[in-house]
Structure 1
Amino acid sequence: MKTLVKTALFAVASLAPATLSTAAFAADLPDLGGREVVMASENTYPPLQFIDTSGAAVGWEYDAVAEIASRINITVVYENTSWDAMIPAITAAQYDVAMNGITIRDDRKEQVDFSRSYLTSQMRMIVAGDETRFDDAAGFAADPDLLAAAQPGTTPFYVTVYDVLDGDEANPRIKLFETFGASLQALRVGDVDLALSDSTAANGFVAASGGALKIIGDPLGTEDFGFIFPKGSDLVAAFDAALDAMEADGTLAALNKKWFLDYKMGQ
């Protein structure tokens, strides 16, 4: 699944006009008869999903789900929930599906089912715009006075622990926050010195910060994103079929351009 055509940073390089129409795939897609599907989201992960200045929930994932819903004939009802509650709630089948830039990982597969990967991203280091004390992961790790922010249980938390620091999940240099937004606020006011995020969100936050934040160092690995479902959900195959069609006809590439080029340039 880790093909560059699904990577936000590279997919926009292959935006040739689609040679196959949506109609060409329609016969191969399931029709779920307008079935109601409850989708959980946190709305804190631009440009994947967030609340815009008008108060509307928007983003790459919202556009993708709207397209999926049209293709497989479902009616999506959105429910807001926190990241900490999301995977347990899906495990307990309190929602039908969830989206939040969720990294596909083997340990999570024990609790939930994933769709195929719809996007691949890399972890990036976000620091204050005037940061000069370090410029990469090694420099951060070498200074015991520097602190990192992270949400517990997330990919940025584990990358901070194992790729930046010493592998100790209880390392006091990691300050835990309930939301990524709180982590960035702590970074802005100087309570912490580093926050990690996948490249999609990192680029969005930095572009919107007016120079208050910047990205340093090399990427710290890759992660594939997928929608999550309760174990055994029949929606997985339907979503996968729609995503396959959207990739083949250029829809995913068009969404990448809209949210990772046009959106960023408009900040």
Structure 2
Amino acid sequence: MGHSLEWLYILICLPMPVTCEYNHVLFSQYNSNEGLNSSQTLLYPGSLSVHQCAVLCTEHPCCLGYLYNWDNHQCILELRMSQRGDNLSPMVFLPNDDRQQRFRRGCAPSWIEYQGNCYYQGETRVSWTDAKVECEKRCSHLVEIGDKEKSDWLAATFLSKSTCPTNIFINCTAWTGGNDVDVEGQYRWSYSNVTITFTAWYRNEPSVGYPARAKERDCIDLLRNGKWNDRSCSYLNPFICEMSYGQ
């Protein structure tokens, strides 16, 4: 059965640059001299099949895609930079070769694709700091929101009555990467570290207008109506992680 799946994978993926699927993860071919936005690699020098290489990529949370050499059966995983500082090899660019192909990985089964990014809902209720760490473990970051369309999409996808997990607080909110932890009233995204320009505050938010409570409300969560609220970072919330794929 394993060999049959492998040959099916090869027959679909080898002849032309199409999208292939393994274990519900999409892989698309791209030119071998086009580098991914990756500064780290993980080399498997042994004789592996293209199917085994795909398996390794699906099992590694930081894998952007892989390079496979059909002559020596060498597999190289191309990884996004780990925020936890994992000790991996520097990025290598091998010469273009007709027998060498790169495959770009799409979103994992538990993630949802939207406009070139992958999104994941962590259903465990944790503090904002712990939510940030949980996303980093997945080689991603707390979601950043740049327009109303995205804010509304996130709320409808992860926080609507039909999708909100039953074990979560009835109001159904989720941590984003927005915060004013460093300077009161100056909101920034934690991952990109840029000033927040677009906002979708709920009425009477943020709490900077209420000095008595503003100091303890430094982290932004998303409400089920797509609006934002600033809340104590120690509050226990589910969270939404974001990562780009193949970029």
- TM-score band, normalised by shorter chain: under 0.3
Q: TM-score, with normalisation over the residues of structure 1?
A: 0.26
Q: Which has the larger radius of gyration?
A: 2
The structure whose RCO (Cα within 8 Å, separation 6+) is larger is 1
